[in-house]
Amino acid sequence: MGKDKGQTGPLSRRPDNSAFKQQRLPAWSPVLTANTVLPFFYFASLLCLVLGVVLIVTVKNTQELRKEYTMAGTCNLCYTKRENMSSAQEECSCMVTLELKTPFKGDVFFYYGLKNFHQNLRRYMDSRDDAQTLGWESKLKDPSSYCVPFQKDPDGVPYAPCGAVANSMFNDTFDLFHHVSLTRMTRVPLRRTGLTWYTDKNIKFRNPKTENQTLAQVFNGTAKPAYWREPVYKLDASDKYNNGFINDDFIVWMREAAFPNFKKLYGILDRQSEQFRDGLPAGNYSVSISYNFPAQPFHGQKEVVLTTLTWFGGQNHFLPIAYLVTSGLLLLVAVVLTVLWWKFGKDGKNMKE
């Protein structure tokens, strides 16, 4: 005899006789009517409008000055010199001028910017060894294969740090000067630490354990990346808390940008000086640039950016405009639905079943 279809046992596939497994739980299915849908669209449109206006006003309260310097001023000579890779190691300095028509009050942030530099390519982003920059001694001498072809130098010495991301690190340096008078300039103090996320500086990037050794001894047996001028332990030899893998400039560069046009923080105005206690005064400024990073290989441009920040960040109009456009679309949909409801569905007589 066959088994009864209602038989239960260890081989039965029947779900338990519970409200959840038998799908007998109470459910609420909203009835979408004009009285509920139309107010929602109008309210959503109003909310997006308010958010867009608030963000636009916030963005307008920020001050920003950009200066493209790839071939500007005396940097044209350095640009030409960097076309010849044989002279890539030669020093080249240039200067560009800035004019602040209004004072930049409060904290002022100094950025460098790149255009047409794609840090978001998967092959490029994978070309790094996070275990190495975390301070693992085993990875210092045996980097990950993901770093190839920037894993070891032609003599087989491992790079520290390895990978395409580290190898392409931006290495232009800047000094900002304020023209106090026609004949006198004063150097604007920039704070070069505290530029990174806390988790990056204190968790994701660590130097190998020194055990009473200097960083030079720790990194002995490694090579500097092919395009670097100095080894990693000389990034900031004057400050052991800003040197090696925990150097702020290095950490900032290693956080890849999502878009080909981006800017990265280089320094923050040090407002301890009486002259700059309230920010940057209006006037003329000069930026002295050690021009090292070539822009020819990626057909890009380089720029410096001075900006103030708000709770929303810098001058980014994308999100406010997105809110305003969304508000307009929601309002348009709400008006169309209102007209259709008023013409065909208000009394229910003209609605087809």
Low-confidence ranges of the chain (pLDDT < 70): 1-12, 84-89, 346-353
pLDDT at 1: 47
pLDDT at 23: 84
Phi/psi region, residue 246 (left: phi>0; alpha: psi -120 to 50; beta: rest), is alpha
Q: Which two tokens stand for residue 256?
A: 């890849």
| One domain for residues 231 and 328 | no
| One domain for residues 192 and 327 | no
How many independent structural domains does the chain possess? Answer: 2
Q: How many residues does the chain have?
A: 353
pLDDT at 239: 85
pLDDT at 9: 55
CA dist., res. 127 & res. 150, Å (int)? 8
Q: DSSP letter for 159, please.
A: B
pLDDT at 346: 65
Residue at token pair 């490694």: 222
| One domain for residues 208 and 294 | yes
CA dist., res. 176 & res. 268, Å (int)? 11
pLDDT at 339: 92
Residue 51 lies inside a defined structural domain of this protein: no
Amino acid in the structure at residue 164: A
| One domain for residues 94 and 223 | yes
pLDDT at 289: 96
| One domain for residues 70 and 161 | yes
Q: Pairing relation of β-strands 104-105 and 109-115?
A: unpaired
| One domain for residues 81 and 154 | yes
- pTM, to two decimals: 0.82
| One domain for residues 77 and 195 | yes
| One domain for residues 157 and 270 | yes
CA dist., res. 63 & res. 60, Å (int)? 8
Residue 305 lies inside a defined structural domain of this protein: yes
| One domain for residues 303 and 333 | no
pLDDT at 11: 56
Residue at token pair 């490029």: 124
CA dist., res. 153 & res. 200, Å (int)? 27
pLDDT at 36: 87
Residue 204 lies inside a defined structural domain of this protein: yes
- Structural domain harbouring 339: 322-353
Query: Cβ(324)–Cβ(52) under 8 Å?
Result: yes
| One domain for residues 174 and 247 | yes
| One domain for residues 345 and 294 | no
| One domain for residues 198 and 338 | no
pLDDT at 353: 44
Q: Which two tokens stand for residue 260?
A: 């080909």
